[in-house]
Structure 1
């Protein structure tokens, strides 16, 4: 079974670029009997799902993780899980399921993606072999570490100081927090001084960090950890 996605035009184009076939997970536009096209996600994690409900439950977590990963690359992502799709007698059948709430993801202004063109001595374009995108590599890496998956999910949506601190603890348990990381030290002191303990109990840093910068910091550290793990 596959996942039926709901996305605006911008997110649709971004996900088609970020999650390209034949690598896992992959996003494709597939023709529907209605005459139009629907956005479909295919992932190895869905291979063992035998019912619409089980596929949807697995897909809910997959989409949350992919939204977080996509936001780390393009700045924002709010793709929704719209249902489950499957092939029956050669036809694509879509089972739409209503959601109660949806998490949206945003990280600053995003980062640009560049296409590098390499030419040989005669000026001919050398086509590199297909490779997973950064988002696909990070997704694969997140599946190797439960703590990094938790950290990624804690950073999803609009996390507060509690969620961000939990994400830091996940990174620490996974061994991805460096002792000389001054920004993380500032984050921890700000969180402890103003948001986790009674004010005055722990001295604050000279320049306390605001929530928006704390969100950017933790998300960046999660991405760095996933990149390290994917090497």
Structure 2
């Protein structure tokens, strides 16, 4: 990401635990990545992305951020069991010294749940020295790269936001139709579509008969996000 063409970021608002996971999994030099900004009033985290390259105004960044966060929230929830975070102030890094924050008002609901923490694994050699690994993009970053290269993948991810039902899962399936199926057996795809079409999306009839072993909703979610 060129600092000359991209001087924007978006503040990340959410639970501290979720923000820690975002920071752990979204690291530079891969896109998107999280950057910490030091501030006298309190440090905060900012999401940086090549999607903001060449953008002229904070308003444009704010509009782009809403869809970016929507897609990324799905990628993070499926890969790290995070709750959604929200896009906060647009941060302008173009000025010397302290970055400037442009705030936009947005009403948000609140929710709470209890989760386990994120484990970190440290590998050491026979002498007890920490083995340093070459940095690699996280799975969430790979998903976001795929969504950038193919807008249909981004659409599929947004259909999976929150707790998708059969309607949203089938929409995601349609968005991904024609792409490599990742080694999923054809019989499982048929089981998914037949379950969805016979009773879930349509009333059963002679053309849409129930599958002998209908797929559970949780199985369908796992299949689409595989």
Is TM more than 0.5 here?
yes
Gaps of 5+ in 2: 1-7
In the alignment, which of 172, 176, 189 is matched to residue 171 of structure 1? 176
Q: Is the 8 A contact 1:73 1:110 kept in 2?
A: no
Q: Residue 183 in 1 paired to residue 195 in 2?
A: no
Q: Residue 134 in 1 paired to residue 157 in 2?
A: no
Change (3 A) 1:93 1:216: same
CA RMSD of aligned residues (A): 2.8
Q: Is the 8 A contact 1:103 1:157 kept in 2?
A: no
Q: What are the equivalent positions in structure 2 for 1:1-231 lying under 5 Å apart?
A: 1-33=8-40, 35-87=41-93, 88-100=95-107, 115=121, 117=123, 119=125, 124-176=129-181, 180-201=185-206, 202-220=208-226
Change (3 A) 1:4 1:122: closer
More helix per residue: 1 or 2? Answer: 1
**Alignment length, in residue pairs?**
215
Change (3 A) 1:216 1:102: farther
SS in 2 for 1:77: coil
Q: Is the 8 A contact 2:91 2:99 kept in 1?
A: yes
- The Cα shift of 1:116 comes to 5.5
Q: Which moved more, 1:148-157 or 1:4-13?
A: 148-157
- The Cα shift of 1:132 comes to 1.9
SS in 2 for 1:143: helix
Deviations 1:143-180 (A, max 9, x none): 12222111111111222222211111122222327673
